[in-house]
């Protein structure tokens, strides 16, 4: 049946909803052993891609496979892949335990597994409560518990951190990492790079249905130039000195500081010393992945500043 | 498949819908049964009144031997099985509305597997509803009838069979329509409108056009034909002399106007259930769950 490799392969995947192209010629692979982030702004096509991977949406073109097979050829899909797609797929009158028992039966795992995953996601005490009364975070946890029922080799999670409290997010982070370390595959989507930055090893960044970046997070970090923000006693003297040393990208910021790219703070401080300029403050700017993310994905549905006349706007959600 | 059937069974037993619909079902069945018995008594009294007795003696018919309660029982079954049909209609449309269909499809080898498992479980529920309906109609009729008006043991068995079959078929039909129109309110309104209004109007038109036989091939006509024909057959077996014109009227009263034999009627309706299920399957199979 399937090859048990734990590989997710998306190839030239395309989906059109009428005239809307949700996903366009998307390709990437996700391998076991690490957590892969699937990133893109609102409406980029993340959910649509994941649903195509899970056999819920029929692609207009291309293929998406898990373990070398399309979803409907997996045989017992619940034991191969677990998915969290939304925190809404619950009957409000059913208790959490009964919800899990329904799907435990479908997957063919013992009922005890229901209680086990409930405990795992921290819902042990709410097991007999009706899901209709659950908070968003609790539903999100229950969705995760459902995904884990079949002890799957592959986990596919669509914005699983939605509604989770900081403790829940921290827990999810460690959980997913250790899950991946066991040699399993974890694919997790988010519209915030910062949210998953500490969790993921690999990233697939999409925008308007197309791949913008695909590779290790480290590689993305390296693409970002570092900047040193320095407040010297004499801006011009330091700038001239740095220039003389071949540093090209020097910017004067509005607050009077200099932003120096391409060198580290030690280099700037040494130059200042040699030029006889004192330094009142120096700071290496943190690698701002978020800004890079913005540049990569800029503005499919960008909003406008509130000062602008709303009647002159175009685009947006309309 | 066994796993999926168990999962579907658990879905139905872990919410209150099954008894929420079963209560009005048995209340209706009981009420209709009680009314049937009362009406039967009234009919016998009326038929035995001296004036009418002369007429019937003259015609050679014996209305005081007529078990008219049979018709009431058939009608009670027809009307009560609307509920299991509604129950069936929620099977798939309810899951789509509540978005639980996503997990259902994620945990089944294929959509077809999931739908077939559901159908099997709803066949079982159809049978349970059918037995409950028969039980309560029976209680109602027995409480208010003279024993002479009641069917014999074989008659009861035949009616129970027709009732359970009819309930199963109606449930299956509901499941199919619920898959075809993936919207709970839309499905239920359409089913009720069709079974309670549209097709009845159609029957009048067909009778007016002098093609009443077509009725037996329509969904409501065939399912009513199943119970109605059983009732008419049982009636005729004990009624003595019945003039042919009267027989047609009796068939209409039993809800079996233009109907075929009971088992033919059942097959015709099974065909309808199969058609809507196939349509619902086609829709569900290619549907994007977003
Ligand atoms: N059923 C549908 N019918 C029509 N258009 C759809 C449908 N589902 C999604 N789309 C469109 O496809 C595009 C991608 O949507 P998708 O939900 O995949 O984005 P996303 O990346 O998950 O966004 P978000 O971060 O907001 O969850 C959007 O333009 C959306 O409007
Ligand atoms: Mg989404």
Query: Would you state the structure tokens that stand for residue B177, as one six-digit string?
Result: 């329509």
Instruction: Please choose, from the candidates B145, B164, B170, B127, the residue with its C-alpha nearest in 3D space to the C-alpha of residue B71.
Output: B145
| A306 domain residue, yes or no | no
Nearest-by-CA chain A residue for B284: A56
Question: What is the distance, to the nearest Å, from the Cα of residue A270 to the centroid of all Cα atoms in its chain?
Answer: 39
Distance B278 CA to ligand 1 centre (A): 30
Instruction: Please choose, from the candidates B186, B192, B237, the residue with its C-alpha nearest in 3D space to the C-alpha of residue B70.
Output: B237
User: What pLDDT is attached to residue A255?
Assistant: 84
Q: Give the full edge-to-edge strand order of the sheet including A81-84.
A: A81-84, A154-158, A185-190, A35-39, A202-207, A210-216
| A148 domain residue, yes or no | yes
Residues A115, A244 within the same domain:
no
Mean pLDDT of all residues belonging to chain A: 87
Contacts of B289 (CB under 8 A, 6+ apart): A51, A56, A57, B101, B102, B105
Summarize pLDDT for A76-109 with one digit per residue, the tens: 999 999 999 987 889 999 999 999 999 999 999 9
Q: Which range, A48-57, A289-298, B180-189, B219-228, is most confident?
A: A48-57
> What is the Cα–Cα distance from A129 to A95, expressed in whole angstroms?
5
> What is the Cα–Cα distance from B106 to B119, expressed in whole angstroms?
18
Residues A206, A256 within the same domain:
no
| A113 domain residue, yes or no | yes
Question: What is the distance, to the nearest Å, from the Cα of residue B27 to the centroid of all Cα atoms in its chain?
Answer: 16
Overall number of domains in chain A? 2
Alpha helices, H only, chain B:
2-13, 17-48, 50-59, 69-80, 82-97, 101-106, 111-144, 153-180, 184-193, 199-208, 219-238, 244-254, 262-286
Check pLDDT > 70 for residue A42. Answer: yes
Residues A203, A129 within the same domain:
yes
| A250 domain residue, yes or no | yes
Residues A81, A168 within the same domain:
yes
DSSP element (H, E) containing A106: helix A96-107
| Pocket of ligand 1 contains residue A56 by CB under 6 Å | no
B225, B214 Cβ separation under 8 angstroms? no
- How many Cβ atoms are within 10 Å of B158's Cβ, its own excluded? 17
Nearest-by-CA chain B residue for A92: B98
Ligand whose nearest atom lies closest to the CA of A44 = 1
Query: Would you state the structure tokens that stand for residue A62, as one six-digit string?
Result: 């291309």
Summarize pLDDT for A145-198 with one digit per residue, the tens: 999 999 999 999 999 888 888 888 998 999 999 999 999 999 999 988 888 888
Residues A158, A186 within the same domain:
yes
CATH label of the domain that carries residue A266: 3.30.70.100
Query: Would you state the structure tokens that stand for residue B180, as one six-digit string?
Result: 């075809």
Nearest-by-CA chain A residue for B289: A56
Summarize pLDDT for B160-186 with one digit per residue, the tens: 999 999 999 999 999 999 999 878 898
Check pLDDT > 70 for residue B61. Answer: no
Distance B20 CA to ligand 1 centre (A): 37
| A311 domain residue, yes or no | no
B255, B228 Cβ separation under 8 angstroms? yes
Confidence of residue A308 (pLDDT cuts 50, 70, 90): very low
Residue B98: which of A91, A95, A107 has the nearest Cβ?
A91
Instruction: Please choose, from the candidates A8, A1, A312, the residue with its C-alpha nearest in 3D space to the C-alpha of residue A154.
Output: A8
- How many Cβ atoms are within 10 Å of B267's Cβ, its own excluded? 14
A194, A173 Cβ separation under 8 angstroms? no
| A192 domain residue, yes or no | yes
CATH label of the domain that carries residue A103: 3.40.50.300
| Pocket of ligand 1 contains residue A77 by CB under 6 Å | no
Angle at A54 between CA A49 and CA A55, to 5 degrees: 100
Distance A45 CA to ligand 2 centre (A): 7
Query: Would you state the structure tokens that stand for residue A163, as one six-digit string?
Result: 């509604």
Nearest-by-CA chain A residue for B104: A103
Residues A253, A209 within the same domain:
no
Check pLDDT > 70 for residue A318. Answer: no
Cα(first)–Cα(last) distance of chain A, in Å? 46
Contact A93 B15 (CB under 8 A): yes
Residues A240, A206 within the same domain:
no
Interface test with B, best of A17, A51, A81, A106 (most B CBs within 10 A): A106
Contact A103 B286 (CB under 8 A): no
ipTM: 0.88
Which residue, chain included where needed, has tokens 């024909």? B229
User: What pLDDT is attached to residue B236?
Assistant: 82
Contact A56 B290 (CB under 8 A): yes
Where is the domain boundary, A170, A192, A216? A216
Angle at A198 between CA A196 and CA A203, to 5 degrees: 55
Residues A261, A142 within the same domain:
no
Distance A107 CA to ligand 2 centre (A): 26
Confidence of residue A312 (pLDDT cuts 50, 70, 90): very low
Residues A193, A267 within the same domain:
no
Specify the pairing of strand A35-39 against strand A202-207.
Answer: parallel
Contacts of B151 (CB under 8 A, 6+ apart): B67, B69, B70, B73, B158, B159, B234
- Flag whether residue B285 sits within 8 Å of chain A, measured between CB atoms: no
Check pLDDT > 60 for residue B28. Answer: yes
Collect all residues of chain A within an 8 Å Cβ-Cβ radius of residue B105.
Answer: 55-56
Contacts of B226 (CB under 8 A, 6+ apart): B162, B165, B166, B169, B259, B262, B263, B265, B266, B269
Confidence of residue A225 (pLDDT cuts 50, 70, 90): low
Sign, Cα dihedral of B280, B127, B185, A57: negative
Sign, Cα dihedral of A281, A286, A292, A295: negative
Query: Would you state the structure tokens that stand for residue B188, as one six-digit string?
Result: 């239920």
Residues A157, A34 within the same domain:
yes
| A197 domain residue, yes or no | yes
Residue A310 burial (C-beta neighbours within 10 Å; 0-12, 13-18, 19+): exposed
Where is the domain boundary, A216, A236, A265? A216
Where is the domain boundary, A192, A216, A240? A216
Contact A57 B288 (CB under 8 A): yes
Cα(first)–Cα(last) distance of chain B, in Å? 26
| A318 domain residue, yes or no | no
**Among the atoms of ligand 1, which is closest to the Cα of residue A48?**
18
**Among the atoms of ligand 1, which is closest to the Cα of residue A49?**
18
Q: Residue A121: give the domain boundaries.
A: 8-216
Output the pTM of the full model: 0.84
Task: Using a CB cutoff of 5 Å, list residues around ligand 2, an ion.
Answer: A 47
Residues A131, A211 within the same domain:
yes
Confidence of residue A288 (pLDDT cuts 50, 70, 90): low
Residues A288, A145 within the same domain:
no
């Amino acid at each position: 049946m399937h090859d048990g490799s734990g590989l997710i392969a998306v190839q030239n995947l395309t989906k059109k909803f009428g005239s809307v192209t949700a996903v366009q010629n998307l390709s990437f692979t996700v391998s076991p052993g690490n957590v892969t982030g699937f990133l893109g702004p609102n409406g980029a096509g993340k959910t649509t891609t994941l649903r195509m991977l899970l056999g819920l949406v029929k692609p207009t073109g291309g293929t998406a496979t898990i373990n070398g097979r399309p979803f409907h050829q997996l045989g017992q899909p619940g034991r191969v892949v677990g998915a969290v797609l939304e925190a809404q797929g619950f009957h409000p009158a059913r208790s959490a335990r009964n919800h899990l028992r329904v799907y435990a039966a479908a997957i063919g795992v013992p009922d005890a597994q229901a209680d086990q995953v409930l405990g795992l996601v921290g819902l042990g005490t709410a097991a007999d409560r009706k899901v209709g009364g659950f908070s968003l975070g609790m539903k999100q946890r229950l969705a995760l518990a459902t995904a884990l029922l079949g002890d799957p080799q592959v986990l596919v999670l669509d914005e699983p951190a939605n509604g989770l409290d900081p403790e829940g997010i921290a827990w999810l982070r460690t959980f997913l990492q250790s899950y991946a370390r066991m040699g399993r595959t974890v694919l997790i989507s988010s519209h915030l790079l910062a949210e998953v930055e500490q969790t993921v090893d690999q990233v697939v960044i999409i925008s308007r249905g197309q791949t913008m970046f695909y590779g290790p997070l480290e590689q993305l970090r390296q693409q970002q130039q570092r900047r040193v923000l320095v407040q010297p006693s004499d801006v011009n003297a330091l700038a001239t000195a740095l220039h003389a040393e071949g540093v090209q990208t020097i910017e004067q910021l509005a607050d009077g500081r200099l932003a120096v790219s391409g060198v580290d703070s030690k280099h700037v401080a040494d130059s200042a010393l040699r030029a006889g300029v004192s330094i009142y403050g120096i700071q290496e700017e943190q690698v701002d992945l978020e800004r890079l993310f913005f540049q990569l994905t800029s503005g499919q549905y960008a909003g406008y500043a509130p000062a602008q006349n709303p009647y002159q706007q175009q685009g947006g959600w309309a | 498949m066994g796993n999926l059937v168990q999962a579907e069974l658990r879905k139905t037993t872990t919410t209150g819908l099954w008894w929420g619909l079963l209560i009005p079902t048995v209340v209706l069945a009981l009420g209709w049964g009680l009314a049937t018995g009362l009406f039967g008594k009234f009919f016998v009294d009326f038929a035995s009144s001296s004036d009418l007795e002369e007429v019937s003696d003259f015609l050679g018919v014996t209305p005081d031997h007529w078990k008219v309660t049979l018709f009431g029982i058939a009608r009670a079954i027809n009307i009560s099985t609307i509920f299991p049909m509604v129950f069936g209609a929620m099977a798939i449309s309810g899951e789509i509305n509540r978005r639980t269909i996503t997990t259902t499809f994620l945990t089944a080898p294929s959509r077809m597997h999931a739908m077939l498992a559901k159908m099997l479980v709803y066949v079982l529920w159809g049978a349970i509803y059918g037995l409950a309906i028969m039980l309560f109609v029976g209680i109602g009729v027995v409480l208010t009838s003279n024993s002479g008006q009641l069917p014999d043991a074989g008659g009861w068995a035949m009616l129970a069979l027709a009732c359970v079959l009819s309930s199963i078929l109606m449930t299956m039909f509901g499941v199919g329509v619920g898959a075809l129109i993936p919207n709970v309110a839309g499905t239920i309104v359409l089913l009720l409108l069709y079974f309670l209004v549209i097709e009845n109007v159609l029957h009048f038109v067909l009778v007016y056009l002098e093609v009443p036989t077509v009725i037996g091939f329509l969904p409501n006509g065939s399912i009513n034909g199943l119970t109605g024909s059983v009732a008419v057959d049982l009636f005729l077996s004990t009624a003595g002399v019945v003039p042919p014109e009267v027989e047609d009227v009796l068939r209409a009263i039993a809800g079996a106007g233009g109907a075929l034999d009971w088992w033919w009627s059942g097959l015709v309706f099974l065909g309808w259930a199969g058609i809507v299920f196939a349509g619902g399957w086609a829709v569900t199979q290619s549907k994007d769950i977003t």
